[in-house]
Structure formats: structure tokens, C-alpha cells
């Protein structure tokens, strides 16, 4: 078990990718500090993983005292922190016309500013344990879809944060910082969103190859497997790297001649 005795703090881990990561961390021998907004879901996951392996802290990560509280509770429960995974995020459609300053600030608060604040709060303990940070970004960080302007800006900023701290924090404090940019992942939330948009329940079974050459989306468990590799000691001194977890190239892609649309 490559994460045996590792203590891993995962924001946004009551559902989706964060939940899948938490499940795999425990499977690999680690302990998890869970975080989210729906306390009932958090308690259900703690019950599943075992109270000896998991602790749930229900708090909005944008509140001023959230970073220090997360670290305090983790230390009270497990005496150390080996890994911080910044997974919590908010996504909302917006374009140039609908992205005003207030809207953008709200997105940045969750997706960029809060992760930075939690890294700041965790640095001392991560340095003691020779630990690492893993940020969960998005392929939209490279430019983004037309209707994901604010979200794409926030993930682009997170990517620069990762590269900057992955160099300076590793050299100064011995803390590795890396990032995964997932492509399209079939989470329960994604299913619900598409259902609310009027799509049929099995929409993901008939995907155009332009979106998914494999004819399917990524599973949360596949992103979790990547995350567990990157936070393990198997990676050695790997730091300041961005991993695009996608099934087609983000730059220089050869679009089919019959394709005239965009990924909305």
C-alpha cells in the first residue's frame, strides 16, 4: 500500500472526484480529512471509510477561518499532515457579456484564492513531513470553452500558482506541488447537470468522437488513481508539473473535416 500511514486533507471530497480520491487513499492505507458543504454526505462517507480512517469537516473553504480550522482539526485527529489536495471548486457558465467583476471574484474565491490560503496554512506541517500539494484543475485552464470564461480564468490562475509554488516551495520548504487537469469526467453531478439541461438519462453513451475518442468519459476512479500516484513517494522529487488527463491533445489537435462546431 503506497500511501500507508499518509494523512491526506482533501477539499471538496464528499462527492465526485474528491470522494473517489478519498476512497482510493484509504484503500492504499492512508487516512483522510474530508471536506465539503453537505454534512450528511460527509458523515455517510466517514461511515463507509471507517471512523478510524476518516474525519469530516463541513465548512465553506472561502470563509476566513477555514484554512486554519482544517489544519487544526487534522492535527488534533492525526498529529500530522502529509498531503493537501485542493479539489473543491465551483463551476458556472459565463461569457464576456455575463462575467462582471463580482461574478469573477466569486469564482476566483473558491477556485484560486482559497486553495492558496489553505496551502499557506498547511505549509509548515507539510514541510515537517516532507509532504506535497496536489491541485485539481481543468483542461479549461488552457483557454476554456466559450461559456466557461470565469471558470477557465480561475483554473488558469491555479495552474500558474502550481508552477510557481512547485518550484519555490519545493526548493525552500521541501514541499512538492503538482496539478492534474482532468478532461470530461462522468461524475454524478455531471449527470445531474445534463439532466437538468434536458438531455436524456443515458446521454453519455452516445458521445461524438470529437469529445471522446474512446467513446466514453473518464471515471472519477481514474482521476483518483492518477492523484494517488502523484502524491505517493513513487514520484520522487517530481514538482511544478501540470498533467493534462485528457484523451486527446490540447494543442495541435487534428479536428475531423466534418466537424464545424465547438465543445459547449
pLDDT digit string (tens) for 130-178? Answer: 999 999 999 999 999 889 999 999 999 999 999 999 999 999 999 999 9
CA distance 157 to 149: 12
Is there a domain that residue 254 lies in? no
Is there a domain that residue 25 lies in? yes
Q: What is the pTM of this model?
A: 0.94
Q: How far apart are the first and last CA of the chain?
A: 40
Question: Helix or strand or coil: residue 117?
Answer: helix
Is there a domain that residue 110 lies in? yes
Domain range holding 70? Answer: 7-183+218-245
Q: What is the mean pLDDT of residues 215-244?
A: 97
Q: Which of 64, 194, 204, 84 is nearest to 135 (CA)?
A: 84
The domain spanning residue 99 has which CATH number?
3.40.50.720
Indicate the burial class of 225 (C-beta count within 10 angstroms; 0-12, 13-18, 19 or more).
middle
Q: What is the dihedral of CA 44, 45, 49, 52, to 10 degrees?
A: -80
How many structural domains compose the chain? 1
How does pLDDT run across 5-63, given as a tens digit for each residue? Answer: 999 999 999 999 999 999 999 999 999 999 999 999 999 999 999 999 999 999 999 99
Is there a domain that residue 260 lies in? no
Amino acid at each position: 500500500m503506497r500511501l500507508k500511514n499518509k494523512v491526506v486533507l482533501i477539499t471538496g471530497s464528499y462527492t465526485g472526484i474528491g470522494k473517489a480520491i478519498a476512497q482510493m487513499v484509504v484503500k492504499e492505507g492512508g487516512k483522510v480529512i474530508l471536506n465539503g458543504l453537505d454534512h450528511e454526505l460527509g458523515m455517510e462517507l466517514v461511515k463507509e471509510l471507517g471512523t478510524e480512517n476518516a474525519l469530516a469537516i463541513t465548512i465553506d473553504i472561502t470563509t476566513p477561518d477555514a484554512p486554519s480550522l482544517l489544519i487544526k482539526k487534522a492535527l488534533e485527529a492525526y498529529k500530522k499532515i502529509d498531503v493537501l489536495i485542493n479539489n473543491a471548486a465551483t463551476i458556472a457558465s459565463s461569457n464576456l457579456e455575463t462575467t462582471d467583476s463580482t461574478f469573477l471574484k466569486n469564482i476566483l474565491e473558491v477556485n484560486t484564492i482559497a486553495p492558496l490560503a489553505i496551502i499557506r496554512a498547511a505549509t509548515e506541517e507539510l514541510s515537517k513531513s516532507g509532504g506535497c500539494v496536489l491541485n485539481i484543475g481543468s483542461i479549461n485552464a488552457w483557454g476554456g470553452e466559450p461559456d466557461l470564461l470565469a471558470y477557465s480564468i480561475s483554473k488558469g490562475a491555479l495552474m500558474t500558482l502550481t508552477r510557481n509554488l512547485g518550484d519555490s516551495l519545493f526548493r525552500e520548504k521541501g514541499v512538492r506541488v503538482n496539478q492534474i487537469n482532468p478532461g470530461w469526467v462522468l461524475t454524478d453531478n455531471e449527470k445531474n447537470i445534463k439532466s437538468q439541461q434536458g438531455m436524456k438519462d443515458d446521454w453519455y453513451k452516445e458521445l461524438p468522437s470529437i469529445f471522446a475518442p474512446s467513446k466514453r468519459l473518464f471515471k472519477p476512479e481514474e482521476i483518483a488513481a492518477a492523484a494517488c500516484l502523484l502524491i505517493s513517494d513513487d514520484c520522487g522529487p517530481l514538482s511544478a508539473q501540470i498533467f493534462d488527463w485528457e484523451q486527446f491533445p490540447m494543442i495541435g489537435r487534428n479536428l475531423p473535416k466534418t466537424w464545424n462546431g465547438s465543445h459547449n
